[in-house]
Structure 1
Amino acid sequence: MDDETNDDNADPKLEELQIGGRLKHARILQGMRMRELAERVGCAESMISKIESGKTTPSIVMLQRLVTALNRDLSSFFGASVSAPGVVQKAGERPISTTDAIRGGTGTSYERLIPFAAGNLLEGNIHRIEPGAEKVDTITHQGETMGYVIEGELDLTIDTTTYRLGTGDSFFFKNHLTSRYRNPGTTLARVLWVNTPQVH
């Protein structure tokens, strides 16, 4: 199986697709260690490390095994259209979605700044929180989140500590912590919310 993870058999085009970063984020999101992934695909743990660090590029056969082991498919791993990343999205034309079913909360929605289907590692949204609305996220994972309050007020709780934020305030936290927020004000709150990896 070594030839399936050898640089000589790797497709040169794959080197441009940030495979290492995508693989690491997908593995972390699954809560899987490098050793476990290596065992699932039948290669050395050091090979997974080299792929994730960008020191080597897997062959297409090995890439398929890696993606399958991570309960993904190539389409979702790279996105529906790698060649059309959506560089510009005009105001008023960005998609808006409600909170997903696995997270609690009402009266909140996301205005997507980065197309989820584009296979990007980074996720960016404008969270729109109606007065009195809240979102509860008890799901933890590896990664980081930063935010900036564009307008309105926000009560942000990280683990057990609550912070009152207003227009112009910003925040940052590691995603192994639980989080929740609530709009205590009487007007719509809009928060620029950026995190990695894509989870919503």
Structure 2
Amino acid sequence: MRRAADRGPQSADQMEARLANRLAELRTDHGWSLDELAQQSGVSRSTLSRLERGEISPTAAVLGKLCAAYGRTMSQLLAEVESEPPQLVRSGRQLEWRDEKSGFSRRSVSPPHPGLNGEILEAFLLPGADIPYDKPPVPGQEQHIWILEGALRITVDGAAHELHKGDCLRFRLWGPSRFQNPGPGPVRYAVLIVLPSAGRPAPGMRA
């Protein structure tokens, strides 16, 4: 994971260190041992230990598993490692997160805040990129995927959707999902996420 050094007040190394510390804090707050978190998340104990010590950076898939275990979206987790979340974020200072290994990057367009219920992201996938998620960080979250450039194949709860420039897919996420770029070029898309209100699932939206 890397954040461009010129996109905010924190350097990439500073953010890496804050993220490692926050992951360790979350595990402690939940009262979990490394073995218990490994069981909850499906991430190996050795990987978790190295992540919390800042020896390695999480991939998108690993971070997705940890967010699911802690009941947070990725944006909420990243907002928690920002020093002072602002109300307005200029385009040049928007948080950008990259997973070089999988060819995925995401920009948090919405100003970060750990308590947000709605957020807008801009995402990029390189040709051939294939990112599976075992489960959503917050079950029942609503997502809108709007393709800005290229093509994207999304599988939601076992149903595959082929999207092209201008297409928009809306769904409630309860189970596994998968994002694939069939090529030939990169895909750029916007993601609108709305978290469900506690105890108030929207009628007729669950698959």
TM-score (norm: length of structure 1)? 0.50
What is the letter of the counterpart of residue 179 of structure 1?
S
Partner of 2:92: 92
Instruction: Give ranges in structure 2 of 5+ residues lacking alignment.
Output: 1-69, 197-207
Pairwise CA distance, 1:114: 1.9
Aligned partners of 2:71 and 2:131: how far apart in 1? 27
Partner of 1:147: 145
Pairwise CA distance, 1:91: 2.7
Aligned partners of 1:124 and 1:160: how far apart in 2? 25
Deviates more, 1:166-175 or 1:183-192: 183-192
Partner of 1:10: none
Cα displacement string for residues 125-164 of structure 1 (whole angstroms, at most 9, x for unaligned residues): 1111111112211113122111100111101111222111
Aligned partners of 1:71 and 1:125: how far apart in 2? 19
Aligned partners of 2:151 and 2:172: how far apart in 1? 22
The answer as to 2:176 corresponding to 1:196 is no
Cα displacement string for residues 63-105 of structure 1 (whole angstroms, at most 9, x for unaligned residues): xxxxxxx999xxx8xx77xxx8644433333111135xxxxx8
Pairwise CA distance, 1:175: 1.5
The answer as to 2:178 corresponding to 1:186 is no
Aligned partners of 2:186 and 2:157: how far apart in 1? 24
The answer as to 2:131 corresponding to 1:135 is yes
What is the letter of the counterpart of residue 135 of structure 2?
I
What is the letter of the counterpart of residue 133 of structure 2?
D
Relative distance call for 1:71 and 1:95 in structure 2 (3 A) is closer
Whether the aligned pair in 1 keeps the contact of 2:127 and 2:187 (CA below 8 Å) is yes
Aligned partners of 1:93 and 1:131: how far apart in 2? 27
Q: Secondary structure at the match of 1:193?
A: strand
- Residue identity over aligned pairs, in percent, reads 23
Q: How does 1:147-166 map to 2 (within 5 A)?
A: 147-166=145-164
Aligned partners of 1:93 and 1:109: how far apart in 2? 15
What is the letter of the counterpart of residue 98 of structure 1?
R
Partner of 2:52: none
Partner of 2:47: none
Q: Secondary structure at the match of 2:104?
A: strand
Aligned partners of 1:129 and 1:138: how far apart in 2? 19
Aligned partners of 2:93 and 2:118: how far apart in 1? 20
What is the letter of the counterpart of residue 94 of structure 2?
R
Relative distance call for 1:185 and 1:71 in structure 2 (3 A) is closer
Instruction: Give ranges in structure 1 of 5+ residues lacking alignment.
Output: 1-69, 100-104
Deviates more, 1:138-147 or 1:124-133: 138-147
Cα displacement string for residues 17-65 of structure 1 (whole angstroms, at most 9, x for unaligned residues): xxxxxxxxxxxxxxxxxxxxxxxxxxxxxxxxxxxxxxxxxxxxxxxxx
Aligned partners of 1:159 and 1:118: how far apart in 2? 27
Task: Find the partner of 2:103 among 102, 107, 124.
Answer: 107
Partner of 1:124: 120
Pairwise CA distance, 1:171: 0.4
Whether the aligned pair in 1 keeps the contact of 2:149 and 2:165 (CA below 8 Å) is yes
